[in-house]
Amino acid sequence: MSELKLSQLAETLIGSEIVKLGSEIREKIKEGQQIYNYTIGDFEPSIFPIPQSLENEIIEAYKNKYTNYPTAEGNLDLREAIGQFVNHQQGLTYSASEIIIASGGRPLIYSLFRTIVDEGDKVIYSVPSWNNNHYSHFVNAQHVAIETTEKTNFMLTANDLQPHLKGASLISLCSPQNPTGTTFSYDELIKICDLVIAENKSRSATEKRLYVMFDQMYCSLTFGDIVHYNPVSIRPEMKNHTIFIDAISKVFAATGVRVGWAMGPPSVIAKMKPLLTHIGAWAPMAEQKAVANFLAKTSDIETYLKIFKTKIHERLIEIYDGFQKLKGDGFLVNAIVPQAAIYLTIQFDLVNKKTSQGLILKTQADVTAFLLNSTGLAIVPFSAFGASASSSWYRLSVGTCRKEEIGQMFEKLRMALSDLH
């Protein structure tokens, strides 16, 4: 009996490559193997708990019986609190009517793609990047995927973008970037903004505008002298063309609390609202009430971020230094200095190497399997984020990293690399 046909979307949608890798890792852990699981962009709560005052506010909100539906666009007190928060943090000015709430960033990104992009429209994004290929597939867009390199820290440039702007509806940008942990410089982002402004001025009144989706989930998690820049702060005219995606998910290690927001032109936000209403992707009422109160606790937030960022950066730097030591000793590995977020970009250039047992690593997939099987090191290849299958670069996440494991991991990794020739 032949298999029943479903929708074209269902038949062609690719599942999450990270989830697929996660299944293999879980099996190995079940078997009792020591796995250094640096794949997931999430946090182990015992290492990185949410702020205590946020937890208290959530408990209090449930005690106060905030368990009914929130308003479709998000509660007014939360939208106002977010407006004040982003003004304090970044100097951005957004009114409640320019802000919409959902259960994290994903439904906001989906509704934004649905609001702006028609079938066949061009969507421009870089690879590696998080899920742009999937969201573009949802709306049957014309993918303009630009593969970046280590020369630009895997960040998109204005020169990359310029040839593709004509006829495009959306540019998807992310900074600090998932999966690379790198950021836009001021100079490069301002060049991109100027291209967008010029392109929109060149379009007739009947043509669709070119919008920028700017995902800044990790904007508060920058290290050292790295500064987070956004399009609207550096070019105020970009407010007409930019939709921000943000949330408490990463900045407060609150991935499961599910409160996110989009900020943008009222005409776009108003059209996203009915989409989200039909999807029903509201952030829970109690969490909305809790976050509205929490965002006003400036002192608590500053104290939390200072400790949180230090713990993340310590792990990133220790692992980065470990890779630089291996590289200095002649092993074919590399790493890019971490700038932000919870990710380290690392390289294993091991294709065509052979183990002492005669196993040849013929493809990058073989390299990934070798690392997992020989050292227990679980990391995500950039190919899972849209880069070419032959890319030798990986994302390493420290959200579940225990500091005492780092030395053990490097001992095993050095032994495994020493076995190759």
* Span 57-103, pLDDT tens digits: 999 999 999 999 999 999 999 999 999 999 999 999 999 999 999 99
Q: Is residue 19 scored above 80 in pLDDT? A: no
Query: pLDDT tier at 2 (50, 70, 90 boundaries)?
Result: low
CB 24 within 8 A of CB 387: no
What's the pLDDT at 13?
Answer: 83
- Which domains are delineated in the chain? 8-48+302-418 (3.90.1150.10), 52-301 (3.40.640.10)
Share of the chain above pLDDT 70, in %: 99
Mean pLDDT of 238-254: 98
pLDDT single digits (tens) 377-419: 999 999 999 999 999 999 999 999 999 999 999 999 999 999 9
Q: Is residue 18 scored above 90 in pLDDT? A: no
d(CA 25, CA 372): 8
Mean pLDDT of 207-235: 97
Q: Is residue 121 scored above 90 in pLDDT? A: yes
Q: Is residue 232 scored above 90 in pLDDT? A: yes
What's the pLDDT at 363?
Answer: 96
Query: pLDDT tier at 30 (50, 70, 90 boundaries)?
Result: confident
Q: Which of 400, 251, 410 is nearest to 323 (CA)?
A: 410
Q: Is residue 29 scored above 90 in pLDDT? A: no
**In degrees to the nearest 10, what's the CA dihedral of 25, 30, 35, 38?**
40
Mean pLDDT of 292-319: 98
Q: Is residue 23 scored above 80 in pLDDT? A: no
What's the pLDDT at 21?
Answer: 75
What's the pLDDT at 285?
Answer: 98
Angstrom distances, CA of residue 403 to CA of 110, 181, 286: 36, 19, 34
Q: What is the greatest pairwise CA distance in the chain?
A: 67
**For all residues of the chain together, what is the average pLDDT?**
96
**Encoding tokens for residue 24?**
């293999």
Q: Is residue 252 scored above 90 in pLDDT? A: yes
Mean pLDDT of 231-251: 98
Mean pLDDT of 145-162: 98
Mean pLDDT of 190-218: 97
pLDDT single digits (tens) 321-357: 999 999 999 999 999 999 999 999 999 999 999 999 9
Rounded to 5 degrees, what angle do the CA atoms 41, 43, 46 make? 165
Mean pLDDT of 162-182: 98
Q: Is residue 1 scored above 60 in pLDDT? A: no
